[in-house]
Structure 1
Amino acid sequence: MVNPKVSLIIPFYNAAPYLKRCLDSVVMQTFDSFETVLVNDGSTDNSLQVVQKYLKDPNFKVINQKNSGQSVGRNNGIRSAKGRYIIFLDADDYVYPDYIEYLYFLLKQFDTQIATCAHESLSPDASPTVIKNPRKYYLSAKEYFRKLGDQELPYQMGVSPCGRIYEKKLFENIHYPEGKLFEDSATTYQLLLQAGGTAIGEKNEYLYYRNKNSTVQKPFSRKRIEFIAAEKQMYNAVVGTYPDIKKSMDRRFQYALMNTLAHIVISPNASEFEKEQIEIKKQIMTGYWGRLVDPKKSLKDTIGLITLAMGLPVYRLSFKMYKQVQK
């Protein structure tokens, strides 16, 4: 396609078990003016063989790069994109047939540079939620971040790059941080600040399937502490722009600290991070009583604070129990 309206970018690395499901959902799209940019991040399995049959469609193309990470893949995909608008899809996820069409017309309806749909995180054998009477509306960047911090965004909306459509020109001076994990926390806030807000569609169009090889499911590594740095970067930029929602962003940063600590303590190599555990706990416990009585705090956070005050072993046990309930 010479001038597609939308470029759908799919970075992949050793994703052979999931690629067919993902790409079959792309083939089923009802929108008729888009290209699919596949970015092979140096796969060593048979991922390239899986994508070959899809390349028979002239609207599919593949870019090969040495293994450099998802951020490099997204940046290369954007540079290669012909469309005026950009949408991301992860190789182990699935989208509904009207995913692109829904986002495109949502963006046009509200005359904005970003539109966001509902999405859901599922285990492979779970059934998706059907949202009754989904609404459409616009949120300013300020209100989006306030709701993010206060855990009021619906349907797992957060800072994921996926489940959104972006006007490509937003990426002229904003790039995904190469060599870093949690590029979503480090980048999505910049795009929202530059665009001034996002249209919201509460229809569930994007399904994120949890698998043991995804970034957030691997055993804990030191690079995962980058989540805190990325969230702090977002915190500083948002509070610097909207100082009156500082309390909401405080809540968001506390979430980042507690989430990171929880994943350290349940990891089999937790003893390698004793210093980090102590430091993160110290940050969380600063202003403990004020956070404990915060009316906007979730039950999960309340239990987390109380058990953390009892000590890291109790906190570890409570989070393990929470993870079991989630399964």
Structure 2
Amino acid sequence: MGGCDSKAKGASPAKTKPKPKAAKPRAKLNPADYIFSQRKDAVLIKEEGSVAGEQFNVEECRNCDIFLLDNIATSFVDECHDCRIFIGPVETSVFIRNCSNCSLVIACQQYRCRECQDCKLALFCGTEPIIESSQNMQFACFDFNYFSLRGQMTRAGLKPWNNKWWMVYDFNKNEDKPNWSLLDQAEASRLLNLEKCPSIAQEELENEGVVPVTLGSRPWPSQETCFVVFLPDSEHLIEAFMSRAVSSWTLCRTRAVQLKEDQLKTLFAWAKEPRLAKCRGEITGIQVCGNNVFKEVQDTLTNTGMVTGAKNLRVVPQKETESLSKQFFETWKDEV
């Protein structure tokens, strides 16, 4: 009789575990494919898939029309003058340095400029934009669209309802002569020479925008507002509400943020639901304004398909809206 380690007659030899396949080496990148440098009076386009999440820089260009139509890791724009530039969506930061008289349309997580002047921007920014040693900078909300933008923003980790374009922080604040101002929103869609970019068809521009246009710190047409808070993992519900908000009311401001427990307790104190202070994940706030908007929002949430998601949102009471919206959108800063 054989022991436990004996082999039966005619048994097949033990199979050896196959060796794991070696990871396919990453193709070597050509640095020249990831920079536009020292160009003048040119139209420069990077199509979707040509940057594919790598860094891309622009430097020393004059009077150029530049379109970076892909998701990007990070981007630097240096010493450019009289240019019209689209950048994005950018996973991390865009840094503009020593540029003048440029028009820029940018979607990014972080925006910073230094020693720039006379530039106009239509901006999507997930954090507070920063300017330093710059003058006559003008900001409006991002207003641009093409078929691939939504997917590119997703790959870059940018959420369309988290745009702080209007919360500009100036390192060299000058109360007597401010270094930045609001750009007329109507100008935002005219900053680029789109006729010079055959990659984008007119129908793409006319589709409903991926990034909703918000008022931010502009004057609001109505003082009657409604502040709706969405609990974590409510993306589809947020998109449905945003679509309704754009068509029915005026969208004031939006933000997605992970709050501390004491902030959650303050935000939801009126709800008397202790579990809300234990939320883990991003809380999204959307504030709209308009005549009779509070009742209309409640009717929408009650009488449409959004009622099925009611457990994932809370409408802040009217008497609490002013104070809580100010804390949520202005006072509570992002964790760095």
Q: Considering the TM-score relative to the shorter chain, is it more than 0.5?
A: no
Query: Rg: which structure is higher?
Result: 2
Normalised TM-score (structure 1)? 0.29
Larger relative CO (CA 8 A, sep 6+): 1 or 2? 1
**As a proportion of its length, which structure holds more helix?**
1
Bigger strand share: 2
Q: Please, what TM-score do these two structures have when normalized by structure 2?
A: 0.28
